[in-house]
Chains A and B, each alone.
Chain A
Amino acid sequence: MDILILLIPLSLVIVGVIAWIMLWAAKNGQFDDLEGPAHSVIMDDDSPPKPNGPAKP
């Protein structure tokens, strides 16, 4: 049981770190758009622009 004396303060520190990450994420706009990224991730296949003439992938 003595290990709890170490683990409980440790859990407090971890919660603190997670809370800091959450606040940073909120401040950084990670929660601004919860729908768009889910769609855009499947579409990011690059076909380079060709200024002259139609693109042929």
Chain B
Amino acid sequence: MSHSPRLTDAPFFSGCFHCGLPLPDGAAYPVQFEGATRRACCRGCQAVAQTIVDSGQGAYYTHRTALPATPQQAEAELVQLGLYDLPEIQESFVRTEAENIREAALILENIVCAACIWLNERHIAALPGVLSVEINYATRRARVRWDNSRIRLSAILKAVSDIGYIAHPFDPGRSDDIHKRERNTAIKRLAIAGLGMMQVMMYALPTYIATDMTTDIRLLMRWASLILTIPVVAYSAWPFFIGAWRDVKRRTPGMDVPVALGIGTAFAASVYGTFSGHGEVYYDSVTMFVFLLLTGRFLEMNARRRAGAAIEELVKLIPAATTRLPNWPARDEEQVPVVRLAVGDHVLVRPGETLPADGAVVEGDSAVSEAMLTGESLPVSKTVHSRVVGGSLNQASPLVVRVDKLGADTRLASIVRLLDRAQSEKPRIGQLADRAAAWFVGLLLLITVAVGLVWYAIDPSKVLWIVVSILVVTCPCALGLATPAALTTATGRLTRLGLLTTRGHALETLARATDLVFDKTGTLTHGRLSVRRVVALGGRSENEVGAIAAALEAGSEHPIARALRQDRPEGERLAAYPSRVLREAASPAVIASGIRNTPGRGVEGTVAGRSYRLGSPRFAAAGATPPTPGGGERPENGHQHAEGHESWVALADESGPIAWFALADVPRADAAAALAALRQQGLRLHLVSGDAAGAVRATARQLGIEEWHAGALPEDKLAYVNALQQQGRIVAMVGDGINDAPVLAGAQVSIAMGEGADVAQAAADMVMLGSRLATLSEGVALARKTQHIIRQNLGWALGYNLIAIPAAALGYVTPWIAGIGMSASSLLVVLNALRLSNFRQPADGSSLEAQDSRLEAQEASPRAWTS
């Protein structure tokens, strides 16, 4: 991190001092910093930067390693902060310590680097009345303690929003506390086992190598080892005994049974050996074994935890407080915490507010965005009797909703449950290893009994030692560790490469993938369309048709909608009000109603009493052809691109097309190199897009993709993928997820771009966090390598056991060799898996530093209304 350039000095820093985005022409928002005047891009950035510098935390600008988002705190949300002071609302997330001492957990948004943590910590701690604040870098959670007689929670939240971040209080009781306790216990168990292992080894080694040790010293060392091993077995190894007991009760022998038996028998035998004074002791084997197994489990637990964080972000969609109308249809309002709502209550949801629960509209007429829940990016129009779901965002006008379902019964809760299940599922190869291990365990126990009986007949005095030798030497930890160790390491490495694994099977399937199907917009291209040309027909002005198009697309996050909105001059006027709510409220004089959306085709709605359709020529203009490129009607915008890059959007009224918009999008800079690398890995590449043939052909030709398919509706894409699958191909689908959710779910393994809609991420097996396409080929290479290493590990574990069991059964393995063999075998497996953590794709000339691509992504991110 310390090698990163100072972002204030970097050459690309011609943009805004705070957020780094390009400065709009004529923007005059100066910030004084270190004696020089810097320029900010908007009032929001200026205010934030000034607050940071004035409060003496300007060091943030010299230490940060990533650029923050442009502050966009909605004014309405600021008003709502006051609600968090109400005692009944604080009930759910605030802990009261003493009379006035309160503690709350906050989720911080917009944290991008360590300097953000520092800035927030210092800023909050400097507030009078704040007693302590801790921010966890890994989880982006904060814990704040304050004196309620001196400062209000809303003032703390306000202070956070002043420096450009957003803090949401949340109820940590659900999973956070549980996890924290679990992690703490695991660390304690690990520490005890580690210390015990080290010290017992110190006592054991001399007894192995020394030749002139007196019996007294030997006995003393045994007793010392016993004392040290007792806490390791009784405390650190406790989960194994519990797990084994559960397995036995359910009659499904798992890995815990032989582990517990091995530990138990070896320990019991050692204790017997220590008390009776003859025979061997295995304290070193026992402690080392416990420590290695606990380490593996700890690593696995951490990896799973990281994957689960996304779920909690969904949970916080539900607001903490809402407005209830107790005597509806009378208008008296009261603020209540959502937890106090009951089925049948009426709630008032203002524009910009999130619906607190599932229900039915009883009054009002509005557009509601369900993007977070369904991925449908266009707002859905809602009138009386319409069903609404909790977590969706009311966008246009106030709604009165009768609550039908609450809490665990809501759609949102069921989505979270689905995600939870997905997270907890084991990959196929993991299940296979588990099943194999169960068989192995059963077989091992049978063999042990048989060998014990045989030796009882030959030499009863050796029975115990040989049985313990078998259990110790064959402890199937190599088998049990082989898969999880490799998967955990690979998942961690992938995450650092910028590819987040959300489903268990993803790595395995990606390794076997033969075909890679790409969506075009937002995946291979920036997904930032802009209007290149406007052709208005029938004597209308470009401004007029542009306003209608913008009105129809208001509130949609589809790239085409953004481009059409961006074309409006109003965008600039509103730049100083970085609030979505305000922007929409004050937006173009032209307002559309009755907006209906047909995914993949277009949108229709009514503007000023006339109904319009906007979308693909097939949808809006009944298949009429766009004006010939380069024809007579060339608008002043001109066009710089080959016409193949452009796709046409038609605007039509009842009588026919009234305007054409030419939109263009350019491929990402690294697309060609990334695709070449993928092709080299033997993958067949396909391009399937909903765009017009010309644009798709141009992109495909430019990137060297031979198989492309244009004008595809979501169902066409799915059919294409299914056809490939029927040929026995294993398809990986890469999409941005706006219209891709079904096809992402249909492919064997799916990868969503992190910039895409959120539901796609839920439906996708992997999520690309940056916008660097080279990550894909690295991911494929890593997945294959992982598969390779898992096979190596399993092969080793199998081979080792095949040699070790017979040797132990025949009495050739002395107990200390058994202990060393077992530990070495586990270590070898773990170390082999750890090779993945430093994985670099061979010959990766195209690999940029992750930091660069992140900055680049931020620079390239669309600014819908300030540019």
Chain A residues within 8 Å of B, Cβ to Cβ: 1, 4-5, 8-9, 11-12, 15, 18-19, 22-23, 26-27, 31-36, 39-40, 42-51, 53-57
A8 to B220, CA, bound (A): 8
A15 to B406, CA, bound (A): 53
Decide yes or no whether B56 CB sits under 8 A from chain A.
yes
Contact present for B136 and A36 (CB under 8 Å): yes
A19 to B55, CA, bound (A): 43
Decide yes or no whether B855 CB sits under 8 A from chain A.
no
Contacts of B723 in A (CB 8 A): none
Q: How many residues of B contact A (CB 8 A)?
A: 48
Selected from A18, A35, A42, A48, the residue in CB contact (under 8 A) with B137 is A35
Contact present for A42 and B2 (CB under 8 Å): yes
Contacts of B41 in A (CB 8 A): none
Contact present for A51 and B195 (CB under 8 Å): no
Selected from A43, A46, A56, the residue in CB contact (under 8 A) with B34 is A56
A15 to B183, CA, bound (A): 23
A7 to B369, CA, bound (A): 72
7 nearest A-B residue pairs (beta carbon): A39-B114, A36-B137, A49-B56, A54-B32, A22-B191, A35-B137, A33-B136
| B224 smallest CB distance to A (angstroms) | 5
Chain A to chain B contacts (Cβ below 8 Å), 22 pairs: A1-B217, A5-B216, A12-B199, A15-B196, A19-B191, A19-B231, A22-B188, A23-B191, A26-B187, A27-B184, A35-B137, A39-B137, A40-B117, A42-B63, A43-B115, A44-B118, A47-B56, A49-B54, A53-B54, A54-B53, A55-B56, A56-B35
Q: At the interface, is chain B mostly helix, strand, loop or mixed?
A: helix
Selected from A1, A26, A34, A54, the residue in CB contact (under 8 A) with B184 is A26
Contact present for B118 and A39 (CB under 8 Å): yes
Contacts of B183 in A (CB 8 A): 31
Q: Which of B153-208 contact A (CB under 8 A)?
A: 180, 183-184, 187-188, 191-192, 195-196, 199, 202-203
A18 to B194, CA, bound (A): 11
Decide yes or no whether B450 CB sits under 8 A from chain A.
no
Decide yes or no whether B838 CB sits under 8 A from chain A.
no
Decide yes or no whether B228 CB sits under 8 A from chain A.
yes
CB nearest neighbor in B for A53: B54
Contact present for A36 and B199 (CB under 8 Å): no
Q: Which of B99-124 contact A (CB under 8 A)?
A: 114-115, 117-118, 121
Contacts of A48 in B (CB 8 A): 56
Contact present for B59 and A45 (CB under 8 Å): yes
Contact present for B58 and A8 (CB under 8 Å): no
| B210 smallest CB distance to A (angstroms) | 10
Selected from A27, A35, A40, A49, the residue in CB contact (under 8 A) with B121 is A40
A34 to B138, CA, bound (A): 8
Contacts of A35 in B (CB 8 A): 114, 137-138
Contacts of A23 in B (CB 8 A): 188, 191-192
CB nearest neighbor in A for B32: A54
Q: Which of B49-72 contact A (CB under 8 A)?
A: 50, 53-59, 63
A33 to B50, CA, bound (A): 30
| A20 smallest CB distance to B (angstroms) | 10
Contact present for B138 and A47 (CB under 8 Å): no
Contacts of A26 in B (CB 8 A): 184, 187-188, 191
A34 to B298, CA, bound (A): 14
| A22 smallest CB distance to B (angstroms) | 4
| A24 smallest CB distance to B (angstroms) | 10
Contact present for B34 and A57 (CB under 8 Å): yes
Contacts of A45 in B (CB 8 A): 59
